[in-house]
Structures are given as C-alpha cells and as structure tokens.
C-alpha cells in the first residue's frame, strides 16, 4: 500500500496527479495517467460520507488504497481512491485520465477516440469497464493497480472549485494538471 494514501483527501488529491493506473483486461494491460481529481472528506457537505457510515459508503470508511465505486443518475459509475485512516470517511474522485499505452483495448467498452474517451468520471469508468464488481477492490492488486510516481511541481497543478455538485460548490477541492488536454472542463 502506498503510505501517503492515509493522509487527508485534500493532501492526497493533488499528490495523485501524475500517478499511473494499470488496468488488466483480457490478459492485456492499459496504462493511464491521472490528470484530474477531487477531494471528499467526512466533514464535507457534498461528500457521500457526510451523514455518517451507511451501507453504500462503508468502503469510504475502510482502508486507504481501496476503490470506492458508486452508481448514479441511473446509468453511470464513478470511482474513487479511498484515503485517510481506517474509520475516516474520505476519498478522492478520479475525474480524468490520459491513456499512455494499450488504448485500443478500451474501444470495445467505449468506442470513442481521442480525449472524449476518458475526460470525465463516468466516461473513464465506462472505458475501463469499472463497475460495482470492483467496489472495495485493493489498488495494490490486478486487475486494477495504482502505481506511485514522483510528485508534480506545485506550479503544474491548478486548484479550483469542484464540478457537478449542488452543495459546498465553492470549496477549492478540485485539482488538475495545468494545460492538460484530457482535463474534463477548464
């Protein structure tokens, strides 16, 4: 397990930028870089964990480095990296990825080329075939592994308000790599 994942989500979210995800599909692997994240904490009104532990959010309160997958709007999955210490309900939403190699494997799940393939939280879950089956999966293991990379320089990281939520809109908890073409929205 990557030790710094036990830090608060607000610290982990920018630290995850530039790190890699390795997804195994049909015995082959796709390598992708994390380029956009959002932090969610237990004290945050917009977080699923704000109202305490429930059946749905129990993974968020569990061990850091696992995957929290939720279903929303009747048709979409989104995925998070669980952060913080055991018992803390915090996580980081993965909002956009840049495919580095093996991108053609994604075609059968999301047959859209270019940046449109993975530049949104529900899009990347569709492209990587991430569903409820992977809820609670450890990111230290295949078929979905998180690979640590050196931290980015802070002047490469943009910090702004989050997207797609109705509560706590103004909290600057969204992070992305400066001028990166795969970011979901400027």
Partner DNA sequence: AGCGGGATTTTCT
Partner DNA sequence: GAAAATCCCGCTT
Q: List residues near DNA by CB under 7 A.
A: 38, 40, 46-49, 51, 54-57, 60, 68, 70-76, 78, 80, 91, 93, 112, 116, 120-123, 163-167, 184
Residue 6 Rama label (left phi>0; alpha psi -120 to 50; beta): alpha
Least CB distance to DNA at residue 31 (A): 20
Nearer to DNA, 8 or 156 (CB): 8
Residue 144 CA to residue 106 CA, distance in Å, equals 14
Least CB distance to DNA at residue 40 (A): 4
Nearer to DNA, 1 or 112 (CB): 112
Least CB distance to DNA at residue 71 (A): 5
Nearer to DNA, 30 or 122 (CB): 122
Residue 31 CA to residue 76 CA, distance in Å, equals 22
By the 10 Å C-beta count (0-12 exposed, 13-18 middle, 19+ buried), 43 is classed as: exposed
Residue 128 CA to residue 154 CA, distance in Å, equals 29
Residue 170 CA to residue 163 CA, distance in Å, equals 10
Nearer to DNA, 52 or 150 (CB): 52
Least CB distance to DNA at residue 153 (A): 26
Nearer to DNA, 86 or 116 (CB): 116
Strands 157-160 and 174-177: antiparallel
Residue 100 CA to residue 42 CA, distance in Å, equals 33
Least CB distance to DNA at residue 123 (A): 4
């Amino acid at each position: 397990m990557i030790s710094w994942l036990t830090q608060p989500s607000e610290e982990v979210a920018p630290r995850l930028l530039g790190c890699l995800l390795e997804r195994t599909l049909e015995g082959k692997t796709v390598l992708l870089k994390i380029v956009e994240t959002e932090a969610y904490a237990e004290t945050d009104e917009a977080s699923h964990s704000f109202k305490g532990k429930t059946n749905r959010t129990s993974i968020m309160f569990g061990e850091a480095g696992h995957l929290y997958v939720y279903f929303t709007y009747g048709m979409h999955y989104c995925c998070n990296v669980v952060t913080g210490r055991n018992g803390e309900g915090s996580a980081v939403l993965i909002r956009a990825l840049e495919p580095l190699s093996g991108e053609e494997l994604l075609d059968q799940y999301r047959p859209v080329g270019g940046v449109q393939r993975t530049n949104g939280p529900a899009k990347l879950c569709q492209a990587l075939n991430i569903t409820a089956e992977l809820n609670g999966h450890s990111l230290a293991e295949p078929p979905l592994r998180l690979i640590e990379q050196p931290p980015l320089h802070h002047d490469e990281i943009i910090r702004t308000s989050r997207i797609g939520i109705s509560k706590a809109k103004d909290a600057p908890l969204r992070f992305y790599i400066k001028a990166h073409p795969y970011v979901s929205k400027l």
